[in-house]
Amino acid sequence: MAMICLISKLLFVAICLFVHMNLSSGDFSIVNYSQDNLISTERFIQLFESWMLKYNKIYKNIDEKIYRFEIFKDNLKYIDETNKKNNSYWLGLNVFADLSNNEFKEKYIGSIAPNYTAAELSYDEVLNEGAVNIPEYVDWRQKGAVTPVKQQGSCGSCWTFSAVATIEGIIKIRTGYLNEYSEQELLDCDRGSYGCRGGFPSSALQLVTRYGIHYRNVYPYEGVQRYCRSSQKGPIAAKIDGVRQVPQYNEGALIQAIAYQPVSVVLESAGRAFQLYRGGIFEGPCGNRVDHAVTAVGYGPNYILIKNSWGTGWGEKGFIRIRRGTRNPYGVCGLYSNSCYPVKY
C-alpha cells in the first residue's frame, strides 16, 4: 500500500511539473472549466494549477497540495452537477474552491453573535411599504457610495465590515465625499460584540453614534482583536446621528430603505452553493439560520445586490445578487431577518 501511495504521489508531482512548465507563459485568467477538464487526471491537474496561479495559492508541501487537489476535484464535480440544473445562478472555481464546506464554515462562518437581534432600535417612520415611489433599479456603486470590496480574513469580523460600509455610504450621500473608515476600530472597541468570535452591526453603529470613527488608513485593519486604541489616533473622521432598524420580514420596507442608502443585513451563508457562488441571482439552497453580516447596496426587480467582505475572488467580484419576490417572509437565506442602517442628518 505504501508503495502504491508513493507511486501515486510521484505521478502527481510529474504531471504537476509538466503542466506548470506549459502554463508558465500562458494566460492565467481562466478560472472556469469545460467538460474537457473532467475527463482525465491530467486535465484536472492542469485546471488546478491554473487556478492556483490565479489566486496565488501556495501549499507547504506536496502532501498538502494533493489533499487540496482532492477537495478541489470534489468541489468541481459539485459545481458541474449544480450548473447542469440551469439555475438562475452558477457556481465556479472561486477563491474557496480548495476548501471543504466544513473547513469553509469553520473559517468564515458563524460571525454573527448568537441570538442576533436589533430589537433595541427604533423604527424609522418613513419606512412604510408603499409610502413613496422608489426607482425600479438602485445601485449605490454607480452613485459613488460604495468603497472597494474588502477581505475580512479568518477573523469573524463581518459585522464590522457591514456596519462600516453603511457609514461610508451615508457619509457620501450627505457630504459628497467617499472615504474608507476603520473596521479594526470597531473590532477593538465595541464591547457589545465579541471581536473575531462574532458581533452585531447595530452595536457597532451605536458605538459610532456615541464616539465616532477614524479613517481606515489611520486605524488599519489587522484581522485580530486588540485593545481599543481610539484615543491614540487623533481626531475622529466621522460620526453618525443614530441607528434605525428596518421592520423584520418585510421585503418592501427593506427595498425602500436601500433606495435611500446602503443597509446592513444578515443572511445564512454556510451552504456549499453559497461558498462556491460565482454569479447570477442566487436563490438557494439555504435556510434562515443567519450567520453572516453583509451590506445591501442596491436592488433590481428580482434581486437585492449585496456587498460581501470575502475579497474579489468570490462571487461577482465580491458581490452577490440574492433573489427577491419569493413570498418567503424570511427572504432567501434569511435576508429579511434583521436589517439596520445609520442616520446622518
* β 263-267/339-343 pair status: antiparallel
Report which of 179, 183, 157 is spatially closest to residue 238, judged by C-alpha positions: 179
H helices within the chain, ranges in order? 2-23, 41-54, 62-83, 101-108, 158-175, 183-189, 201-211, 251-260, 272-275
Cell for 58? 501556495
The dihedral over CA atoms of 24, 28, 33, 34, expressed in degrees to the nearest 10, equals: -60
Cis ω for the linkage preceding 342 (within 30 of 0)? no
Report which of 326, 261, 269 is spatially closest to residue 293, judged by C-alpha positions: 269
The catalytically annotated residue of 37, 101, 308, 338 is 308
The catalytically annotated residue of 292, 328, 338, 340 is 292
Active site residue 158: yes
Cell for 104? 469553509
| Degrees, nearest 5: CA angle 281-284-285 | 160
Cβ-based neighbour number of residue 26 at 10 Å: 11
Task: Calculate the alpha carbon distances from 299 to 277, 282, 293 in Å.
Answer: 18, 13, 17
Element (H, E) at 299: strand 292-300
Active site residue 340: no
Helix axes 62-83, 2-23, angle to 10 degrees: 70
Distance CA(214)–CA(186), nearest Å, equals 10
The catalytically annotated residue of 16, 75, 155, 158 is 158
Active site residue 5: no
Where in the sequence numbering do the catalytic residues fall? 158, 292, 308
